[in-house]
Amino acid sequence: RLKLKAVRTNARAWLALEDPVALLWSFVGGTPKINHFKDRSEVPAITAEAEAMSKALKK
């Protein structure tokens, strides 16, 4: 029951955004970010883009 409520709440939040797709693309400059990691240990747990996106979506 709580998960269904969370789904509805998140869907309403998504629909309330003016242009959600443009918002998400704005964090990577409008182009796909292609990484070339040789090993999983090179993949960062947190990136600046992820931090900025998280902060913007919490508003």
Give pLDDT, residue 57.
86
Place of tokens 């709440």: 9
Domain boundaries, the chain: 2-58
Q: What is the pLDDT of residues 7-56, one digit of tens each?
A: 999 999 889 888 989 999 999 999 999 999 999 999 999 999 999 999 99
CB 48 within 8 A of CB 55: no
Q: What angle do CA 18, 28, 14 make, to 5 degrees?
A: 25
Give pLDDT, residue 9.
93
Chain-centroid distance of CA 40 in Å reads 21
Place of tokens 């902060």: 55
CB 53 within 8 A of CB 27: yes
